[in-house]
Amino acid sequence: MDKLIEILYKIKRFSIESGEDVMSSEELTRFEKARIVGARALQLSMGAKPLIEVEGSLDPIDIASLELKKGVIPLGIRK
């Protein structure tokens, strides 16, 4: 257990010194997904045009979720 703590400490120290985030993954967390969908849904509700073909009348949150799944949302997250 002490060895694991030492390794994690070295990784974190390297992360701070180099300015890189070593421990983050490329996959979005559920909190990041919620933030992106919420921000895009707000844009859509304020009059922004959808970046996908919308069939029928969908809620802005549904449209933003579909845009996120297709990877066309022009927003990003800095980790």
- Give the amino acid at 71: G
- pLDDT at 27 (0 to 100): 82
Q: Which of 37, 36, 24, 71 is nearest to 51 (CA)?
A: 71
Query: pLDDT, tens digit, for every residue of 27-77?
Result: 888 998 999 999 999 999 999 999 999 988 889 999 999 999 998 987 777
pLDDT band (50, 70, 90) for residue 21: low
**What fold does the segment set 24-79 form as a domain?**
Eukaryotic RPB6 RNA polymerase subunit (3.90.940)
- Chain-centre distance of CA 7, in angstroms? 28
- pLDDT at 4 (0 to 100): 60
11: Cβ–Cβ under 8 A, 6 or more apart, which residues?
22, 23
How does DSSP classify residue 35?
H
Sequence spans of domains, the chain = 24-79
